[in-house]
């Protein structure tokens, strides 16, 4: 049983999708980041970095509750624990880890900055908009090349790498990206989007 402290953002949705794909028991506890609920003492004990998502596995190592934060780490923990969404073979497993890190280190932080400067920033700063839009577009190109002739991002199977990337790709319009420009990503996107587990994960917590 997982207690999931979350809000339906790109990082948050990864976890809701993962538990639905894994078909495990969970309960979502909304943390309204727009209202600053990530800064409460209670939430800070779960994630000292004060960002969603955070998770408690009530049946962690030794049968004790185990607290996790950082979406990539949570995905790896769940995949390893349930023996799904990440292959056991070392070279294939690290293919998944590499593309998961591509998302955590690039196709996330830069896209997030593009969202901020293109949409949210009260002041339109051309330098920042250009910098993050250009890097976002480059990262989409890397992903498109990767998906040429491939059904899934890594290891020839649906994995936590696909789960991590998809909710960020969902926000393509916020990034000034059209799926038509990246045909390999578009085919993959449609493939991921039609998975029942993904649909259930997205529906599990609608935007507040």
Contact positions vs ligand GSH (CB under 6 A):
9-12, 33, 38, 51-53, 70-71
Q: How far apart are CA 15 and CA 50, in angstroms?
A: 17
Q: Which residue lies nearer to ligand GSH by CB, 51 or 93?
A: 51
Q: How near is the Cβ of 112 to ligand GSH at its closest, in Å?
A: 7
Cis peptide before 10 (omega within 30 of 0): no
**Which C-beta is closer to ligand GSH: that of 51 or that of 172?**
51
Query: In terms of CB distance, is 36 or 176 closer to ligand GSH?
Result: 36
User: Residue 206 CB, nearest distance to ligand GSH (Å)?
Assistant: 16
φ, ψ (nearest 5 deg) of residue 3 = -95, 120
Smallest gap, in angstroms, from Cβ of residue 148 to ligand GSH? 27
Q: Is 6 in contact with 191 (CB distance < 8 Å)?
A: no
In angstroms, the Cα distances linking 57 to 35, 50, 51, 93 are: 26, 19, 18, 23
Min separation Cβ 174 and ligand GSH, Å: 13
Q: Cβ closer to ligand GSH: 116 or 191?
A: 116
Report the distance separating Cα 192 and Cα 199, nearest Å: 9
Tell me 55's DSSP state: E
């Amino acid at each position: 049983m997982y207690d999931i402290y979350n809000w339906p953002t790109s990082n948050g949705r990864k976890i809701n999708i993962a538990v639905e794909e894994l078909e495990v028991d969970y309960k979502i506890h909304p943390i309204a980041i727009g209202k600053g609920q990530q800064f409460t003492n209670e939430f800070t004990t779960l994630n000292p970095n004060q960002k969603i998502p955070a998770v408690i596995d009530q049946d962690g190592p030794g049968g004790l509750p185990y607290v996790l934060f950082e979406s990539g780490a949570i995905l790896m923990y769940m995949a390893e624990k349930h023996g799904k969404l990440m292959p056991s073979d070392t070279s294939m497993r690290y293919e998944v880890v590499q593309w998961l890190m591509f998302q955590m280190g690039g196709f996330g932080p830069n896209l997030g900055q593009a969202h901020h400067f293109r949409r949210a920033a009260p002041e339109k700063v051309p330098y920042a908009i250009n910098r993050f839009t250009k890097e976002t577009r480059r990262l989409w190109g890397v992903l498109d090349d990767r998906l040429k002739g491939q059904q899934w991002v890594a290891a020839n199977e649906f994995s936590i790498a696909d789960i991590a990337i998809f909710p960020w790709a969902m926000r393509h319009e916020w990034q000034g990206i059209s799926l038509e420009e990246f045909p390999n990503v578009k085919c993959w996107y449609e493939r991921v989007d039609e998975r029942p587990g993904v649909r259930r994960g997205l529906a599990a917590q609608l935007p507040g």
